[in-house]
Chain A
């Protein structure tokens, strides 16, 4: 494995399977009454969050703590960053503190790549702009594998704002590596103009794709997209691309429903669908901690403290 985890495309099939298998072993820790391993004792993990994301931050924090790492949470609000400090100076500060890994969430695509030039520790991308979110893709793959078994040949449909989605980019890359067949479904305005060059299928017609899907992953639709005329209204979006009860009924009986959260219930997904037994949405949160443990363990565990 590479020293950093910045793009899902950095992972070979063997890397990805190693992370998933390691997560499978570590999952048992989460089921114990004392949820802690001594593996990363004495190692320092910095959570460097330039965007508010309580869910992802506490997931990484829990993962690092369960491996006994020291965790420093550095959020941009109220810090020197809000006083105009550059990313480079922040990186040099973290470097001086001896961070073994920096988990970065940033509003700018590519910020983790830049950070990796300035720190010696491992950089883990926890979401960069509209680029990637590789641990989300890993936890999605982990969740799918637990429900469906191996992913080779599985048909996975990702629905929604692909253009601005870091989840979609990472999933397309990782699921392709794992041998699944991905189909993206969205209004044409919410697909990159170059999507035809991606290693996946593309459709504008959700109803046609649903009966052939083993997994349907719904993406969050930001309401501000409507103001930028990506689609005419919330209701129209919901009618054409929302996963409501009728559409849910068109899915094969053993197909599952996923959502990276936070959801807009009633917009891209109906409440009954989100809460159904075939939804993995709550499991995805628990699996997030497990997969991030596996990532930190594999990136940091190999070296001596």
Chain B
């Protein structure tokens, strides 16, 4: 197979030859009958998401492994980490193997299950982390995402325990006592709207504690969906100490702010903007962008969180938290980081493919587009301008905050080990 006329990381046009799922040659001018014409698109290594909710088993009305991975392929992803808060919870080898196997059967992208840290996400007793690590799913990332491992002793034990198999605990940093009934960022807007606030300190206090714990026991810590300027300061400090801390930011926290809850084209109190952690302020957005640019925040992760229409067409406090994000992620990152000059395409590839693969310990993903490397490739046209149309999503759910917005860029094609999963923007 030859893909011709593509610009790797935005460089000069070249062709990529791949055989048996491996890149065999990268050079200008390679051509053959049946070659795929990239049309000058940018070629990046297939994107890797460390934070996806596929909802299966349990909430197949919102998403399935099939539709979620189709959505991922459409977004240029070749691997996703499926979060553990399913029903039943992915807290045993049986459940993680089921999810992993479903991913293999459908084949739209690699599915790497995340194992729950505690049984039933209840924060009382460690789940059988070793069994999940040793299972066919080879789990390396553990998270109670959706809930915080708030018990300091349990968090310490989890951080220590996963060292035995090079695992990492991905913490959803939210002090529960400070966020009882919380609905949105605590600040000027929440005060006016009379919605219970989710204070930045509830995230920052847990991150600070976890960084200190990780340093104390010499473990690696990953911080999910960092959302505040204060969190950035703490992580920067922890990294300056040489501690093994990584962090992610979502596309929506790089673009959207809490005043959309009060004033937006879709009306006040529209739960399409309800997400956990909540949308913050402009100053937080600026700090998150700067942190992603300077490496304080390592990666972009989508926190793709599908919900059926009826869970969002409600009054605000009754609505589910979360947004779909796989199919808009790279466009939002282009808007927030490329158009602003904060990152180039090599920087984007690092933060959306290479580093998430390294944190998740995925040796066959996030590799450079060079001879001898796996042919996980995505092609992207950065000049396209597209109005976001939720009904066109491959995801089963439509809860995007970007409906009607015009975003830059379009995923042209995705290749998983040389096999196209998306061509001309459509699923293969």
Contacts and interface: CB of A to CB of B under 8 A. Distances in A.
Contact of A114 (B190, B195, B310, B316): B316
B191 interface: yes
Interface stretch (A14-22, A192-200, A244-252, A295-303): A192-200
Given A131-B193, A169-B192, A197-B191, A109 B314 contact: no
Contact of A194 (B187, B196, B313, B314): B187
B418 interface: no
Nearest to A195: B191
Contacts of A131: 193-195
Given A128-B194, A132-B194, A194-B191, A88 B269 contact: no
Contacts of B192: 169, 194, 198
Contacts of B316: 108-110, 114
Nearest to A115: B315
A238 interface: no
Given A86-B310, A110-B268, A194-B186, 12 more contacts: A86-B314, A87-B318, A88-B313, A109-B195, A109-B269, A110-B269, A114-B269, A114-B314, A114-B316, A131-B194, A195-B191, A198-B191
Interface string B252-289: 00000000000000011110000000000000000000
Contact of A110 (B195, B197, B313): B195
Contact of B191 (A86, A128, A193): A193
B318 A108 contact: yes
B268 A113 contact: yes
Q: Which of B191, B195, B310 has the most CB of A within 10 A?
A: B191
A142 B29 CA distance: 82
30 contacts: A87-B318, A88-B314, A109-B193, A109-B194, A109-B195, A109-B317, A110-B195, A110-B269, A111-B269, A113-B267, A113-B268, A114-B267, A114-B270, A117-B267, A128-B194, A130-B194, A130-B195, A130-B196, A131-B193, A131-B194, A132-B194, A169-B192, A169-B194, A192-B190, A192-B191, A193-B186, A193-B191, A193-B197, A193-B199, A198-B191
A129 interface: yes
Interface string B329-368: 0000000000000000000000000000000000000000
A166 interface: yes
Q: Which of B188, B192, B270, B310 has the most CB of A within 10 A?
A: B192
A194 B190 contact: yes
Contacts of A129: 194-195, 317
Contacts of A130: 194-196
A194 B188 contact: yes
Contacts of A198: 191-192
Nearest to A128: B194
A119 B270 CA distance: 16
A86 B313 contact: yes
A106 interface: yes
Interface string A88-112: 1000000000000000001011110
Q: Which of B267, B315, B318 has the most CB of A within 10 A?
A: B315
A87 B271 CA distance: 14
B281 to A, nearest CB: 11
Contacts of A108: 315-318
Contacts of A109: 183, 193-195, 269, 316-317
Contacts of B269: 109-111, 113-114
A108 B183 CA distance: 11
Contacts of B195: 109-110, 129-131
B76 to A, nearest CB: 34
Contacts of A86: 310, 313-314
B152 to A, nearest CB: 22
Interface string B292-327: 000000000000000000100111111000000000
A189 B421 CA distance: 55
B213 to A, nearest CB: 27
B194 A111 contact: no
Nearest to B313: A88
A198 B188 CA distance: 9
Given A87-B314, A87-B315, A108-B317, A197 B194 contact: no
User: 9 closest Cβ contacts across the A-B interface?
Assistant: A110-B269, A131-B194, A192-B191, A194-B191, A130-B194, A108-B315, A109-B194, A194-B188, A111-B315
Contacts of B187: 193-194
Nearest to A116: B267
A67 B203 CA distance: 53
Nearest to B269: A110
Nearest to A107: B317
B313 to A, nearest CB: 5
Contacts of B267: 113-114, 116-117
B375 to A, nearest CB: 48
Nearest to A228: B180
A182 to B, nearest CB: 15
A109 B197 CA distance: 12
A54 B106 CA distance: 57
Interface in B50-80: none
Contacts of B191: 192-195, 197-198
B321 to A, nearest CB: 15
Q: Which of A86, A111, A129, A132 has the most CB of B within 10 A?
A: A129
Given A108-B318, A113-B267, A132-B194, A197 B313 contact: no
B197 A114 contact: no
A122 B197 CA distance: 30
Q: Which of B186, B187, B193, B197 has the most CB of A within 10 A?
A: B193
A109 B314 CA distance: 12
Contacts of B196: 130
A106 B194 CA distance: 13
A293 to B, nearest CB: 27
Interface in A137-170: 166, 169
Nearest to A118: B313
Contacts of B268: 110, 113
B198 to A, nearest CB: 12
Interface in A169-199: 169, 192-195, 197-198
Interface in B386-402: none
Interface in B170-194: 183, 186-188, 190-194
B196 to A, nearest CB: 8
Nearest to B266: A117
Contacts of B186: 193-194
A106 B315 contact: yes
Nearest to B318: A108
